[in-house]
Amino acid sequence: MASAHYLLAFAVSAVLLAGVGVLKRWKATSRLPFPPGPRPKFLVGNLFDIPTEMPWITYTEWGKQYGDVVHAQVFGQHILILNSIKAATELLEKRAILYSDRSTMPMIPLMGWDFSFAFMPHSDKWRERRRLFHQYFRRDAIPAYHSVYLRKIQDLLRGLLSTPADFATHTRTLAAAIILDSMYGYDIKSIDDRFARLSEEAIERLIENMLPGACIVNTLPFLRHFPSWFPGCSFHKLAQDTRHLVDEMKNAPFDFVKQNMQNGSGRPSVLRELLERNDVHGGSEEQEEVMKDVPGVAYAAGVDTTITTLNVFIMAMALNPEVVKKAQNELDTVVGLGFLPGFVHRSALPYCEAVFREVFRWRPILPFALPHATSDDDIYEGYFIPKGTMVLPNVWAMTHDESMYPNPDRFDPERFLNADGHLNADDQILGFGFGRRVCAGRYAADATVWATIVSVLSTFDIAKAKDEMGKEIEIEPVFADGITSHPKPFKCSITPRNDVIKQLIANMMDVSLDFGFNSMDH
């Protein structure tokens, strides 16, 4: 009986939603067609066509069938998939005034993640938080954090020396430690730290539940108004538990900084500076809430993506030992064996830069840039795009476009080099997004990932692991589903390049000693 009631309610709601969508767009669609896409079914549209797993693969195949811009709709909600850099640039960059809004996935506010300006609609509230964030993450602000990066990279190298099989744990610790130190002045030594665990669990739930098709309420938004006991509405329990996690993720480190300030202790941090400035200017509790959000956004945006990128790098190196050797030869020539490269060396290391770019291209950690939404009707190449359309930039399709990147599944840094060995002009990291919604923390991510890549290559050989019989253990490049696509666990061999480097890593005690770490402060 309950299931019959559920189906009846579902059908009534579907008819009402579809009817509203049809009436609102009847006039426009009578003149111009939507972009091509899979044929919608009566009332439900493309509900059963929307993939629930690895959607970027399905949408890439749609692109081959229908073109660079593909249209679908579910109960009147229009979805536009952009499968080429050309389409993304034309719409999200050149027409940013129309394409800078956000389509809200109902699970995001239900889980309490709507505090993040990354998910906010284009509004004054969004501008205020992004402007504040930008002060600390613009390009010329990043050198102030170099010393933090270096201390944590030093910890990573020691970790790789002592327990190389735990490389995934070491990269997780590095990413969390950098953000918690720079944002809160909080030092962690283990990923089991309370603050890190809180954030990791809250972020994991976000990643698993924010895409269309990942959770039923994202596809059928009206279900958010139904109680949790209603069939199909168990998502409410998950959302409520996650909301508690998110609140604690923001409040616990915030309270830690405030308590240290009251005690006259604690290290410098972004949050401390914000609070001190707020006190001087007689700021309000409302303003404190804004300041609480900024470091929370930094953690959410920076940790998981950094972890994933570094694990992709390690996988790629283990699968391509010739790339490791070429990069090490360049580092030894430019910097010298036994010294870590600094940012001052970056322009003199074109092959390492090409490795850095290829890591982001080969397996984009964000197969989709975060969804945009149209703030008004638009026309593109003779097709009608309605106001409120969700726009999904399919980064996977763009980075695996065979016309731009022949044999795209192959890891080949030299695709970013000219015949003379110099870097070509293809320097856009597509996973950082587009237009006004481009990742505000991209310069910090760029610096962190580059410094880690060249530091690890300078000191370690990376290869496939071997079993007890000495046979290589093959690595299958298998990746998880979700908004962030990270490598599934794999084994590899990480060993110091020689005994001298091994001893130097073991003896490192300060960023100003050994390896020329001080050069990275420039």
Which residue positions form the known binding site for heme? 439
Phi, psi of 262 (to 5 degrees): -65, -30
Report whether 253 contacts 186 (CB < 8 A): yes
Q: Which residue has the tokens 């890190």?
A: 196
Give backbone dihedrals phi and psi of 417, rounded to 5 degrees, phi first.
-115, 145
Name the residue among 287, 311, 286 with its Cα closest to residue 362.
Answer: 311
Which residues lie across from 460 on neighbouring strands? 496
What are the angstrom distances between the C-alpha of 224 and each of 16, 47, 205, 236, 419?
A: 16, 18, 17, 8, 56
Cβ of 304: how many Cβ atoms within 10 Å?
A: 25
Question: How many angstroms separate the first and last alpha carbons of the chain?
Answer: 70
Q: Where are the beta strands (DSSP E) in 361-496?
A: 372-373, 378-380, 383-385, 390-393, 460-464, 492-496
**Closest Cα partner for 453 from 302, 304, 319, 323?**
323
Strand-pair category, 460-464 with 372-373 = unpaired
Annotated binding-site residues read 439
- Residues with Cβ within 8 Å of 81's Cβ and at least 6 positions away in sequence, in order, are 37, 59, 62, 63, 69, 70, 71, 72, 392, 394
**Residue 326's CB: how many other CB atoms inside 10 A?**
18
Name the helix (H) or strand (E) containing 70. Answer: strand 69-74
Residues 182, 133: Cα–Cα separation, whole Å: 13
